[in-house]
Structure 1
Amino acid sequence: MVDVIVVDAEGRVRDADVPLLFADDLAALRGDGVFETILIRDRSSRLVDEHLSRLHDGARALDLPAPDTDGLRRAITVAEREWASPDDACLRILYSRGRESGGPPTCYLTVTPVPERSATARRDGVRVTLLPRGVEPSTEQPWELAGAKALSYARNMAALRHAQRYGFDDAIYVSADGLILESPRASVVAVVDGSLTTPPRDEGILPGTTQKALYRVAATAGVSIREARMTPSDLLSADGVWLLSSLTLAARVTSVDCTPLPAPSAAAPDVPNLVSRAISERMM
């Protein structure tokens, strides 16, 4: 099995050892584009509708042409077929403005093994630190790309490196007025007053595909769900806090800035099980 599978937007498998991007592609020069990360489990891509919808929304936010979702579905099918392993895989869709010298947008898919850190976080949980975000994007500031999964991801990775430098596994952003926002690469969900609670989308956070799927399944299971503002004290008193993402799925937050969080009580919703159901019930 190869370590990287590359499929172009026309569904052709490309040699991963042969260069694909031009040197002046704006994905590389400026991070001018959007991307999606999709879990392949049992050789089937999960939550494809949600990811393609978010890709479309992100492209619109960046004034990119609408991606060819039908073509991407065909390319995803090819990528699934090329992934010969029963192990989980990470499928990424990259969609950039294309070459600085002109031409159509660039679009391709890659498939790689899921990083070991995802399985570790899922199994052991994560220790997080709270970081001020500084700039507060909102829907009233479209140039800040609130809610778009943009390729310009250096800031997110710098936040994670900072957290890891001080002995944490991950971070949670806090707004200037002390509100919980999101992780650099995950949604935050906590059990507050018996309800699954996530920050409102109008706070300038990325709409989480896994969080959305969790809420859909939780609602059908009779679990109380809501979007509501949360503070750090809400996390410390919550009956369980989770970081949700496409690859890790559900990682329990075990401590916040060195303050241990107790394990969820028997009365708390079983978030990992609900997430597992959510990614199984909706496939392409």
Structure 2
Amino acid sequence: MTVLVFLDPVHPAGRLADASSPTILATDQGVTRGDGIFESLLAINGVPRKVQAHLDRLAGSALTMDLGIPAAEVWLAAITTALTAYAGGSAAEGQAVVKLIATRGPEGGNTPTAWVQVSAVSLALAKQRDAGLSVILLERGYDSDIAARAPWLLLGAKTLSYAVNMAALRHAHSQGADDVIFTSGDQLVLEGPTSSVLLAHISDDSGVPVKRLITPHLDTGILPGTTQGALFAAAKEAGWELGYGPVTPADLLDADAVWLISSLRLLAPVNTIDGVEIGTAANRAQLSAELSALLATTL
């Protein structure tokens, strides 16, 4: 079941649309050019999680794109309408995907198209949390400082132009892998096609026990991860040391555990990178359980 609710000034709480019927004009620039932005967030038992963080990131993407979008309270009203319709008017149970989408609208106009979509969470994502991932490294094709030199590339904005990301995943699957970690031309770790990258150390170079989480820094043009940010806040309270890049492929291979983390997949352990095992199965399982429990406190 998929529910669509369009943000419409005539309908303050949003306008329900039939997801099985055409609803977007063929001339909409989100369709013809991928000119738009989106966010995907998790709803649990009918309650959207980290919604303000996603609305803030949506607003940041809109600013980068010079795209006018509805105000946060309009999105919140439409989210409520969509989740209520998805539950059939009863108390919702389980998890759902909530997507917030805005395009530049039909060509020749100046009115954005915006809607909320609610659908079921893919069973494959839950499987990845449990079984872990085999990952390959792929170069994204630019150096880590390109975001500052070429803001028109829209790095750090969550745009609808995901063709490259999906092509990277198809390539990984053709190589027998589950997912991808992108690297820059100057060999820094960036992010996954639909996730942030996180690594952990439980001892330093001399063998002294530590609890340290590291993620690549944002000035490489990667998307700021809402789930990674929530986990870092919870981990800091639990006594973990936190760090932000630069991260190299060698750092990933040297880690005790590596994860791809996102709002829908949550925390998925990386078993291998380019065929090389990361840490040990025991460490990956123990650390994944500990951090998943911390992440659950933020949901």
Query: 1:220 Cα shift?
Result: 1.7
Q: In structure 1, which of residues 73, 93, 108 is the aligned counterpart of residue 115 of structure 2?
A: 108
Q: In structure 2, which of residues 69, 73, 78 is the aligned counterpart of residue 75 of structure 1?
A: 78
Correspondence 1:1-284 to 2 at 5 A = 3-10=1-8, 11-84=14-87, 85-136=92-143, 137-192=146-201, 193=204, 194-261=211-278, 262-263=280-281, 264=283, 268=287, 270-279=290-299
Instruction: Write the distance in 2 (CA, Å) between the matches of 1:139 and 1:95.
Output: 25
Q: Tell me, what secondary structure is at the counterpart of 2:147?
A: coil
Post-superposition CA distance 1:1-43 (Å, at most 9, x none)? xx11011114222111221111100000000010000111111
CA contact (8 A) 1:59 1:67 kept: no
Instruction: Write the distance in 2 (CA, Å) between the matches of 1:127 and 1:93.
Output: 30
Alignment size in residue pairs? 277
The alignment's C-alpha RMSD in Å is: 1.6
TM-score w.r.t. the length of structure 1 is: 0.93
Percent identical among aligned pairs is 42
Post-superposition CA distance 1:105-125 (Å, at most 9, x none)? 000011111112111111111
Query: 1:266 Cα shift?
Result: 8.8
Q: Tell me, what secondary structure is at the counterpart of 2:54?
A: helix
Instruction: Write the distance in 2 (CA, Å) between the matches of 1:130 and 1:56.
Output: 31
Q: Tell me, what secondary structure is at the counterpart of 1:179?
A: coil
CA contact (8 A) 1:217 1:274 kept: yes
Instruction: Write the distance in 2 (CA, Å) between the matches of 1:96 and 1:256.
Output: 36
Query: 1:265 Cα shift?
Result: 6.6
**Larger Rg, first or second structure (1 or 2):** 2
More relative contact order, 1 or 2 (CA 8 Å, 6+ apart):
1
TM-score w.r.t. the length of structure 2 is: 0.89
Residues 266 and 99 of structure 1: is their aligned pair in 2 closer, same or farther, counting only changes over 3 Å? closer
Q: Letter of the aligned partner of 2:276 in structure 1? A: T
Q: Letter of the aligned partner of 1:197 in structure 2? A: I
Q: Letter of the aligned partner of 2:196 in structure 1? A: S
Post-superposition CA distance 1:224-255 (Å, at most 9, x none)? 11112111121112111110011100000000
Q: Letter of the aligned partner of 1:275 in structure 2? A: L
Query: 1:200 Cα shift?
Result: 0.3
Unaligned runs of 5+ in 1: 280-284
Instruction: Write the distance in 1 (CA, Å) between the matches of 2:284 and 2:128.
Output: 20
CA contact (8 A) 1:210 1:246 kept: yes
Instruction: Write the distance in 2 (CA, Å) between the matches of 1:187 and 1:108.
Output: 25
